[in-house]
Structure 1
Amino acid sequence: MVIELNKSVNAELFSLEPSADFGHRIVIDLKDPNPSPVPTNSKAPVRDKDIVIVIDPGHGGVDPGSIGPEGTYEKNITLSISKMLEKRINEEPGLRAVMTRTGDYYISPNDRPGFATKENADLLVSIHADAFSTPQPRGGSVWVLSKGRADSELGRLLERTERNSELLGSAADLIGDRDTERYFAETIFNMSMDLSRASSYDISNKVIKEMKKVTKMHKKVPQSASFAVLTAPETPSILVEVGFISNPQEEKNLNWRAYRQQLADSLFKSIQVFFRNAPPEGTLWAQERDNQPVRHKVKSGESLSLVAKRYNVDLDRLREANNIKGDLVRIGQTLTIPEF
């Protein structure tokens, strides 16, 4: 067999032990050190009222992923947890889940970020199960795109884009000079990717906080690596390893439906907390946040008149909104600030 390539890649050859379903296998792993990035749309997307979460069950089809000591396929575990998470998300008003795969079929890792770009997603969550050559390692971990990889994605995207105005949409009409356009495009896109990385890291910490209530964490802080699935340019993306399928006890746990549900629930809770704190503008959750009354917690030295002056509201209206007859307030008391 001859494989002709149009660029240099890192190649590894594996001979795998035969299994009942796959027989004798030779796996050639071709890793592109510089994969083509997913281009952004030239037109500004229409903001979906729902917060869109793309769920990516790792592996699938001819790619079983890691195989546990008792023959458990990673691809089945990841799909099951993903469907549980999808159900939780779609039951929550204001959230909508999109699956990269809904059955046992193969999707290239390089194609998976395209789902996030197509859906104008607010988050991509890729679910996997770790494996090691020895059975001892165990626990979950959360991964984000390394800064070096992200920066190189930016460079390649700018080089491969015929005109940098494709990154800017209608804003490019305001820029006449092509050199200025290029630097402006690079600046805006770089800021966007920095924001995406920051959001990815933030939600990763929340996932770790929730997951450690369910399972031991192999890594207690977010890790970074060059995973192709995390390269959607403007979508915060995380890869969650739910445990080591190569560990006999964790393989047993992952085959327990109630345990998988607990993992899915922990992922849902972290997503819920993250987007309740920072809902994207134009979404239902952002509207609900904006409609919430402003509240103020009284601190030492503050009086009712001082609070009224700070928020520029009438003192009588402040009393009425909080059912206060005099001017006394207690330290730690929460006051509702009436609208203007």
Structure 2
Amino acid sequence: MATVVLATLVSTTAPAAGVGNDNGNGASGPAIVRGPDDVLLPVVGTFAGSRVVSSTCGHEVVFEGGTAHEGPVDVVLDPGHGGPETGSVGANGLVERDLNLTVALRVEAALVEMGYSVVLTRRQDLHMPIRQRTRIVRALEPRAFVSIHHNGGAVRRSDTPGTEAFHQVDDADSRRLAGLLFEEVQAALSGYWVPWVRSYHQGASARLRPPRTDTYGVLRLTRGIPSAIVEGLYLSNPPEAQLIALPEVQEVEARGLATAIHRFLATNDPGSGFKDPFFDPHTTGTGTGRGCVDREYTAPVDVRTGFTAEEFASLEATARRMGRSVDWLVKFGVYTLRFLGDLPGATVPVPLTADERPDAYGPIGVAVEWDQAEQAALVRMAAAYGLTRTEVQKLGATLIVFLANLPAEPGPAAETPAGEEGD
């Protein structure tokens, strides 16, 4: 049995179909669930009876709790930045991360008054990578998506607010949304006079990187959904920072944003302030989620697998040669199964037959602890091979012992220098 199964695992005869990169549901169910503290967790799929979600940090984790999000969504609002990624910081100490959320909550309230259904990517201070934000958007499929920001860096004086909006390249709906956001937000803030600043990109435009794709990930990764980024004013300009610190001004800006979104959804108004697309691939490097640490959604679990005395002796000897523990080796075996399945041209895993299933109930038990992210890998592989978690641990362990004990290929024979024949 082991020889047949292991030969299948290491063969590379047909293209794999997303063994480790499946973003679709492995079974019917909700596209997104609300977890602790109302965080949104897109559902990756259900594998071996366990639900796998994309965590706040963008990691696959097992999570069985939460409540399914029900019903269609008109608008998703994304309060930009969060956690250690503060964004711009005003001279008055106002932090963009916090301001974006405050304004987004006000926009939500205004849109709900108008009768729209609204979801925020975050409702609290969270470290959340761009890819996770866009996973939420794609799972909800709203009629419009707006990422709310406040700018930094410009010093050129202006008679009008330096509002900027960015749209998806070559997308008419996204372009119209950006034009309306620019028009309404700049008009709302123009009711105040401060020494405004602006950059060359004041208006609505597309920022590109070669060959011709959107520089901003929140736009590039939400193609097919009308999306835009809005930068209301320059938080780095002290007079503007003082102005936007006032709650009544935050409300004015939020009402402008809500009006723009309403006009996009309810009218054919074109918007204004359009500029030609421009190439600028450079970004601040934020939004990657580097250093992001997830909360514990699911407690670690122990999975126990049984081995015969002979199997355990081989496993123990292999672990000793590798300088590792037996439980580490068992876990490494499961990850090796996934690695082999992800190789280009790898065979698509299929459920094993009754004769091929490993006997995982021998007299010598090995208990392996899996955290929430490791559990996701475990249940994915269990589902791929039609096994229980206990059995897939046994399959992975058998694979590692098999690979570790393959005979080494002999190296090239050493050549004897001419004139120096051996005795």
Normalising to structure 1: TM-score of the pair? Answer: 0.51
Report the aligned-residue RMSD: 3.1
Task: Give yes or no for the alignment of 1:256 onto 2:279.
Answer: no
What's the CA shift for 1:104?
A: 0.8
The code of the aligned residue for 1:223 comes to: S
Tell me: CA distance 1:211–1:133, structure 2 relative to 1, closer, same or farther (3 Å): closer
Tell me: CA distance 1:255–1:40, structure 2 relative to 1, closer, same or farther (3 Å): farther
Distance in 1 of aligned mates of 2:22 and 2:255: 30
Distance in 1 of aligned mates of 2:239 and 2:23: 42
Higher helix share: 1
What's the CA shift for 1:39?
A: 6.6
Q: 1:201 aligns with which of 170, 175, 180?
A: 175
What's the CA shift for 1:67?
A: 1.0
Distance in 2 of aligned mates of 1:215 and 1:146: 27
Q: 2:205 aligns with which of 223, 248, 256?
A: 223
What's the CA shift for 1:134?
A: 4.6
Find the counterpart in structure 2 of residue 91 from structure 1.
113
Would you say the 8 A contact 2:89–2:235 is kept in 1? yes
Distance in 2 of aligned mates of 1:105 and 1:233: 24
What's the CA shift for 1:38?
A: 11
Find the counterpart in structure 2 of residue 239 from structure 1.
229
Distance in 2 of aligned mates of 1:261 and 1:82: 10
What's the CA shift for 1:135?
A: 8.1
Would you say the 8 A contact 1:123–1:236 is kept in 2? yes
Find the counterpart in structure 1 of residue 86 from structure 2.
64
Find the counterpart in structure 2 of residue 103 from structure 1.
124
What's the CA shift for 1:116?
A: 1.2
What aligned pairs does 1:97-176 form with structure 2 within 5 A after superposition?
A: 97-132=118-153, 134=155, 139-147=162-170
Find the counterpart in structure 1 of residue 101 from structure 2.
79
Q: 2:259 aligns with which of 256, 269, 277?
A: 269
What's the CA shift for 1:91?
A: 2.1
Tell me: CA distance 1:57–1:234, structure 2 relative to 1, closer, same or farther (3 Å): same
SS in 2 for 1:274: helix
Distance in 2 of aligned mates of 1:205 and 1:59: 23
Would you say the 8 A contact 1:40–1:233 is kept in 2? no
Would you say the 8 A contact 2:73–2:141 is kept in 1? no
Tell me: CA distance 1:133–1:139, structure 2 relative to 1, closer, same or farther (3 Å): closer
Tell me the alpha carbon deviations over residues 208-250 of structure 1, each in whole angstroms, 9 at most, x when there is no partner: 2212222259455312121011121211110000110000111
Would you say the 8 A contact 1:38–1:232 is kept in 2? no
Distance in 1 of aligned mates of 2:24 and 2:216: 19
SS in 2 for 1:222: strand
SS in 1 for 2:230: strand
The code of the aligned residue for 2:165 comes to: V
Unmatched runs of 5 consecutive residues or more in structure 2: 1-20, 32-69, 191-196, 208-214, 269-423
Tell me: CA distance 1:229–1:245, structure 2 relative to 1, closer, same or farther (3 Å): same
Would you say the 8 A contact 1:39–1:233 is kept in 2? no
The code of the aligned residue for 1:119 comes to: L
The code of the aligned residue for 1:201 comes to: R
SS in 1 for 2:104: helix
Distance in 1 of aligned mates of 2:228 and 2:222: 11
Percent pairwise identity = 23
For the pair shown, which has the larger CA radius of gyration, 1 or 2? 2
The count of aligned residue pairs is 191
Tell me: CA distance 1:40–1:272, structure 2 relative to 1, closer, same or farther (3 Å): farther
What's the CA shift for 1:145?
A: 2.6
Tell me: CA distance 1:235–1:40, structure 2 relative to 1, closer, same or farther (3 Å): farther
Distance in 1 of aligned mates of 2:202 and 2:23: 33
SS in 2 for 1:242: strand
